[in-house]
Chain A
Amino acid sequence: MNKKKQKNFIHGLSGLPWAALGVIAVVLICAAGGEALLPQDPGDLDLGAAFRPPFWLDGGDLATPLGADNLGRDILSRIMAGARVTVIVAFYAILLSGSLGALIGMIAGFFGGWVDQVLMRFIEIQQSIPSIALALLLAAALEPGLSTVVVVIVLTYWAWYARIIRGEILALKGRDYVAFARIAGVSTPVIFLRHLLPNIFNTLIVLATLQVGQVILFEASLSFLGLGIQQPDISWGLMLADARQYITNAWWAITMPGIAIMLTCLAANVFGDWLRDRLDPKLRQL
């Protein structure tokens, strides 16, 4: 490795969002690790430990470092166990709504004309349906549970992606380099792949990272309404919902999963910003 390369390498490393990557890594490890990593069984009831505060408060115990909930279950173990549902829901919901929305947005923006008109009407109709009403309907039709949550989120968010991607494509289509490609006889699929797709990637990544927070909160509200994750499965949203009524005498039961949600969203956004900058050749070398 010559000196310049080495310098670039170190410079590249120092630019990484270490804190955000750390948080994301912890969440992923919890999600992947399963039961083996948990300090306690998250379903283990211990009524004697009910509403036990975190260890640094009076009456706290290191056995339940972040405190215990109304049934005396260890909050730390539950947060770690809940990471699995959160990650699965976020991953599938974002992947599917992003791909569906991007595809429809690209088709509408690229072909224009009546195709665009029809797709835009669909988008408008979708966006005028309240997502909770959609969720209620779907939950009635399907079984409440993880896959219902994913389906509801995908059906709610695809239009949001489609609208933004369509606008992006329309702007890109007017660029002089796209005009040149047409003048030079470059075929339509190649123009699509070479000039349009790479340039909407940034937008997709930013949208996806912004959506991480929304998805976690959406899953929480669905679970809270009883339409989402069902007991005895654990999700952060469900923990919030369960702890809500005890907020006055056990604030930690709702705050700890809340902090987990906040840190994860923040880390996803910071990582998304960094990724967007890395993907932009203009910013890459600054």
Chain B
Amino acid sequence: MLQLDAITKHYPTRQGLVRAVEAVSLTVAPRSTLALVGESGCGKTTIAKMILRLETPTAGRILFEGQDIAAMDRIAVHRYRRAVMAVFQDPYASLNPRMRVGAIIAEPILAHENPGRAAVTRRIEEVLDIVGLPAGAARLYPHEFSGGQRQRIAIARALALQPRLMVLDEPVSALDVSIRAQVLNLLQDIQDEFGLTYLVIAHDLALVEHFSSDVAVIYLGRVAETGPTAEVFAQPRHPYTRALLAAVPQPDPDHILSEAAAAGEIASALNPPPGCRFHPRCPRAMDLCRTTVPVPSAPPHITACHAPHEGAPT
């Protein structure tokens, strides 16, 4: 469905070249959910922006249903815009405060077709119903809704044109704990019902395990490990994946957090460490890791590490 082929993104800045994304290759199968996880500044948002054609890759190709999205003509871009939608993290920033909910949801529809007032109204009511809001919501302004309801409106807007791929950028992390489950369940129901493919950016690993079928762990612009979520979480091979998993606080007072799995903090993408970018923080780093970029292993469970772990973590 979606294939990233060695995409790279460099930004020139006054301090030098920021190597935000470096040779990232990933595939997303139809009706699956790929989660991009990693710490802030790891490049996962830049990857999403390139998929959404808000940024252009410095190198590499992004194929959507076999077509290179950079080589599309105007008409193909318009079709692509119709097939790919997004839901953002902050439901307070993603809805124009001056537009009524109905107009917000109608916006993508009217950008592509003009089916007439009655048809648009009907579609607005349909998608509001799908996300569990009353039809009357269309007449109100975003500020009249709570955070969870606003996120439902953002989902309704993304659904209005029946897209095939949805990019979800931290879709619940701005919401309250008791509201998150509502929105997650809604997203899962929508995926099942309409056969959508999701690309989700998340930092909450428990949520990723619950929500996604596949996962890609990104560290400083490179894929550290990717594969089916169940496999990656049960038998993580990359030391960074293990460090992330060991650091997740569990709602269980007897769970012991491991501070030792990743020392220090993420380096700057301005001047990434040579070799494996994780080596300065890695407890298993060897001389080879300091000089040579590790080659990714074979799919489906791909690891880029010179000294991968085996078996389940203890």
A residues contacting the other copy or chain, number (CB 8 A):
21
With A187-B111, A194-B99, A282-B97 as contacts: A180 and B143 at CB distance below 8 Å: no
With A177-B93, A180-B88, A281-B141 as contacts: A185 and B99 at CB distance below 8 Å: no
In the complex, the answer to whether A185 meets B98 with C-beta atoms within 8 Å is no
Interface string of B98-114 (1 = CB under 8 A from A): 11000010011001100
With A185-B82, A185-B111, A186-B108 as contacts: A179 and B88 at CB distance below 8 Å: yes
With A183-B84, A183-B85, A184-B161 as contacts: A194 and B96 at CB distance below 8 Å: yes
Chain A interface main SS type: helix
With A281-B143, A282-B143 as contacts: A186 and B94 at CB distance below 8 Å: no
In the complex, the answer to whether B141 meets A185 with C-beta atoms within 8 Å is no
In the complex, the answer to whether A184 meets B81 with C-beta atoms within 8 Å is yes
In the complex, the answer to whether A190 meets B111 with C-beta atoms within 8 Å is yes
Chain A residues lying within 8 Å of B112, measured Cβ to Cβ, are 185
Chain B interface main SS type: mixed
State the Cβ distance, A285 to closest chain B Cβ, in Å: 8
B90 within 8 A of A: yes
State the Cβ distance, A179 to closest chain B Cβ, in Å: 6
B157 within 8 A of A: yes
In the complex, the answer to whether A183 meets B52 with C-beta atoms within 8 Å is yes
Q: Which of A163-184 contact B (CB under 8 A)?
A: 175-177, 179-184
State the Cβ distance, B294 to closest chain A Cβ, in Å: 34
In the complex, the answer to whether A183 meets B111 with C-beta atoms within 8 Å is no
A34 within 8 A of B: no
Q: Which of B93-146 contact A (CB under 8 A)?
A: 93-99, 104, 107-108, 111-112, 141, 143-144
B78 within 8 A of A: yes
Per the bound structure, the CA–CA distance linking A45 and B106 in Å amounts to: 68
For B53, the closest partner residue in chain A by CB is A183
Per the bound structure, the CA–CA distance linking A69 and B95 in Å amounts to: 59
B86 within 8 A of A: yes
In the complex, the answer to whether A179 meets B111 with C-beta atoms within 8 Å is no
In the complex, the answer to whether B93 meets A183 with C-beta atoms within 8 Å is no
Which of A185, A186, A190 has most B Cβ within 10 Å?
Answer: A185
State the Cβ distance, A157 to closest chain B Cβ, in Å: 26
Per the bound structure, the CA–CA distance linking A179 and B49 in Å amounts to: 10
Q: Which of B54, B81, B88, B154 contacts A185 (CB under 8 A)?
A: B81
A278 within 8 A of B: no
State the Cβ distance, A105 to closest chain B Cβ, in Å: 19
B residues apposed to A, CB below 8 Å: 52-54, 77-78, 81-82, 84-86, 88, 90, 93-99, 104, 107-108, 111-112, 141, 143-144, 154, 157-158, 161
Closest 7 CB pairs of A and B: A185-B81, A184-B108, A176-B94, A186-B111, A176-B88, A177-B96, A281-B141
